[in-house]
Structure 1
Amino acid sequence: MIKNDKIKAAEVDVTGVNGEALGVMATSEALKLARELGVDLLCTSLYSSPPPCSLISSGKAKEAKQQEKKAARPSKVKEIRLTANIEEHDYDTKKNQAQRILAGGDSVQFVVKVSGKDGAKAKERLEELLRDLQGTGVRKTGIQVSGKQAAVQVDPV
């Protein structure tokens, strides 16, 4: 996004502060209008002629840039491994670790190692984790029990 004096086009298609179309005008005239209103002139695309620009407050321009950056970042899937017979303190540690990861915007893949007849216990442990993480994450996949492990993926809210 290019704003204010860095816009080099001779003419721009301006949209007002409240979203109303102000039409095509000279860039110098649009910059003068932006200064009068105490806002920035923000160019949204350079690929059209004349380029579309918006009158937007500085705070909203920064916020829009941060939103754009955040949307462009791919979400990572972090894996947390545990066993069906995990101790309470270790369970709390894994749960807190998952909450930190979800708060950071990444997804969590829980994998519970199954040995012997612990398949049902592993599924119960994953359901308990999902209940505890209800405020910070939402289940993306169902609980999948296969072979020697049970797994579920949780995405941030």
Structure 2
Amino acid sequence: MYTRGQTGCCARTARKSQDRAGAWNPRFRRIVADGPSHAKHRSTQRRHTISEPRTNDRIRVPEVRLVGPSGEQVGVVKIEVAIRLAQEADLDLVEVAPNSKPPVAKIMDYGKFKYEAAQKAKEARRNQANTILKEVRFRLKIDKHDYETKRKRAEGFLQAGDKVKAMILFRGREQSRPEQGVRLLQRFAEDVAELGTVESNPTIDGRNMVMIISPLKNKSEAKAEANAQRAASKARAQGRAQDAVAEPAAAAQSETDSPQREDDPEEK
């Protein structure tokens, strides 16, 4: 039976279980006794909390190894001296390596540092989300034409900033010759080396062999380069069109401006 202290959804859940089974269900004993647990939620919150470095007066150590605003090594100084130097430069003293002995602290603009770090993290998340894994499949006995077609497809994916998953599909007794698959994938990686680099070496995945190639340029860089190329191509096309219109007009103008020869009356 549920007790008087049980309230809310826990008591209702226990009551329904008892009514359904006709007896107390021990599965609800911990829930009813303890109530809904928030430990998992709290642990998730702690896991996602980013601990910020200690700054200025929050640095509770007698001395630090000080790094100047330009990266120069000042040396080991007392914490009071380090804070005073940071205040004189109108900057912050930030503890960058708390586990060192003594801890390492740097004089910097902490607000600017946090903003730049947030922008880098945002860019990294955007690039990671935009990167798509494209798949290119091979047979172990692939002819030259098919290989070139697969290579060109992979180059297009890499130019767009996407990863390429090169996969060899083994059939029958081909599984007993994995070294041939390794050679084929290594050759493929060398052929696209100008656009991508091997992220994971050839590995056996069931009856297949897989290799991952990452682009040398991320998604945003590839998109910016493609936009620049389109803009340059459009500008060249407009220039050719203007030249095509200007040439007949210039020719007509030159004919109009050229003096016509008149007969000299003295020659008659």
TM score, norm. by length of structure 2: 0.36
Answering whether residue 66 of structure 2 is matched by residue 15 of structure 1, we say yes
Matches within 5 A, 1:72-87: 80-84=135-139, 85=142, 86=146
One-letter amino acid of the structure 1 residue matched with residue 166 of structure 2: F
- Select the residue among 87, 94, 98 that pairs with 2:154: 94
What is residue 110 of structure 1 aligned with on the other side? 166
What is residue 133 of structure 1 aligned with on the other side? 193
3-state SS, counterpart of residue 133 of structure 1: coil
Residues 133/6 of structure 1: CA separation in 2 closer, same or farther (3 Å cut): farther
Q: What CA distance in whole angstroms lies between the structure 2 residues aligned with 1:117 and 1:50?
A: 63
- Greater strand share, 1 or 2? 1
TM score, norm. by length of structure 1: 0.52
* Structure with bigger RCO (C-alpha 8 Å, 6+ apart): 1
Q: What CA distance in whole angstroms lies between the structure 2 residues aligned with 1:134 and 1:19?
A: 40
What is residue 75 of structure 1 aligned with on the other side? none
What is residue 95 of structure 2 aligned with on the other side? 43
CA RMSD of superposed structures (Å): 4.9
Shift of 1:82: 0.8
Percent identity between the two aligned chains = 14
Aligned length: 141
One-letter amino acid of the structure 2 residue matched with residue 136 of structure 1: G
Shift of 1:134: 4.2
The unaligned stretches of length 5 or more in structure 2 are 1-51, 122-132, 217-268
Matches within 5 A, 1:45-64: 45-46=97-98, 51-56=103-108, 61=113
Q: What CA distance in whole angstroms lies between the structure 2 residues aligned with 1:63 and 1:137?
A: 31
One-letter amino acid of the structure 1 residue matched with residue 135 of structure 2: I
Native 8 Å contact 1:44 1:53 kept in 2: yes
- Greater helix share, 1 or 2? 2
Q: What CA distance in whole angstroms lies between the structure 2 residues aligned with 1:125 and 1:153?
A: 10
Q: What CA distance in whole angstroms lies between the structure 1 residues aligned with 2:63 and 2:107?
A: 11
Q: What CA distance in whole angstroms lies between the structure 2 residues aligned with 1:134 and 1:25?
A: 51
Shift of 1:43: 0.6
Residues 127/146 of structure 1: CA separation in 2 closer, same or farther (3 Å cut): farther
Q: What CA distance in whole angstroms lies between the structure 2 residues aligned with 1:125 and 1:48?
A: 45
Native 8 Å contact 2:134 2:165 kept in 1: yes
Residues 3/139 of structure 1: CA separation in 2 closer, same or farther (3 Å cut): closer
Native 8 Å contact 2:151 2:188 kept in 1: no
3-state SS, counterpart of residue 2 of structure 1: coil
